[in-house]
Amino acid sequence: MYRALKTASTGMQAQQTQIDIIANNMANVNTVGFKRARGEFQDLYYQQLRAGSEAVDQGTAEPVGLEIGQGVRVMASQKMFGTGDMMQTSNPYDLAIEGNGFFKVNLPDGSSAYTRAGQFRVNGLGQLVNPAGYTLDGGIEIPSDATEVIISREGIVQAKRPDEVEYRQLGEIRVSTVQNPAGMQSMGRGLFRATQASGQVIDGIPGSDGLGEVVQGQLESSNVKVVEEMIDLISAQRAYEMNSKVVQSTDQMLRDAANMR
């Protein structure tokens, strides 16, 4: 019976972690570029009380052994990189990626981070930066007197100045991808860091080699589906209640056994 208490407690802990994951998903339902996480479970090791085919009498053997599981644990919380819905903003510095890939931004320490949140703006130096102030990779500078900025689906940035008839090319926005996006490290602020698990980062031209295209004047919304999260939440809650019921029942059985005369 003590084993049942321990096993049920692992179930309660696992479902609590699942609820924590769901809570974070739902809290970010309106976060631009947010990618929902999914809890992945794994059963724990088994205690073998009797091996299969163990001889019980001369010439006979049990066809099936006796194993008792020790519970469950949350093995991972995997990010699901499905594309969210596109939101029209008409802001020339709002960008979205239609397809695979990430925007690359430069961190203050010289390293790079990757994001699907394309809420860029122009800082005092004319650089495109995200809400945290990190510059978009590519060294693009927008003239202070630019009257119009156009960003093509291939990432080419052009601007028009009052004294010019033609558009001037300012640079190119590249899109980055990795072999295993789920292996990237979440940094918060809509940013991800490449890791050994995610694989080598490959920078490319938007719209080529399987990379998504850049869409100007739009943002990618969160890919969290509230109805699906509510269903998962109810399921996790019921599983938690069932495991707590096992604890209560086991406790009652132990109490009854202790009171036997």
Give the number of domains in the chain. 2
- Return the pLDDT at 174: 96
Same domain, 240 and 120: no
Mean pLDDT within 67-73? 90
Give the Å distances, CA to CA, from 109 to 112, 113, 123, 134. 9, 11, 19, 11
Residue 109 has a CB neighbour count (10 Å cut-off) of: 6
Whether 252 shows a pLDDT value over 80: the answer reads yes
Q: Domain range holding 25?
A: 2-79+224-258
Same domain, 93 and 184: yes
Same domain, 128 and 186: yes
Same domain, 91 and 216: yes
Instruction: Please indicate whether residue 178 or residue 68 has the higher confidence score (pLDDT).
Output: 178
Cβ proximity of 149 and 209 under 8 Å: no
Mean pLDDT across the chain: 92
pLDDT tens digit sequence for 33-53:
999 999 999 999 888 877 766
Residue 181 has a CB neighbour count (10 Å cut-off) of: 21
Same domain, 157 and 230: no
Whether 67 shows a pLDDT value over 90: the answer reads no
Mean pLDDT within 59-74? 81
Q: Which of 8-17, 97-106, 139-148, 252-261 shows the lowest per-residue confidence on average (mean pLDDT)?
A: 252-261
- Return the pLDDT at 61: 67
- Return the pLDDT at 163: 85
Q: What is the pTM of this model?
A: 0.87
Mean pLDDT within 162-174? 91
Mean pLDDT within 97-123? 95
pLDDT tens digit sequence for 201-241:
999 999 998 999 999 999 999 999 999 999 999 999 999 99
Whether 144 shows a pLDDT value over 80: the answer reads yes
- Return the pLDDT at 164: 84
Percentage of the chain modeled with pLDDT above 90 = 78
Same domain, 216 and 228: no
Whether 56 shows a pLDDT value over 80: the answer reads no
Same domain, 215 and 91: yes
pLDDT band at 58 (very low <50, low <70, confident <90, very high): low
Same domain, 69 and 93: no
For residue 81, give the amino acid letter. F
Same domain, 69 and 116: no
Closest of 140, 131, 169, 157 to residue 214, by C-alpha = 157
Same domain, 57 and 143: no
Same domain, 153 and 134: yes
Angle between helices 226-258 and 2-27 (to 10 degrees): 160
- Return the pLDDT at 260: 79
pLDDT tens digit sequence for 71-89:
999 999 999 999 999 999 9
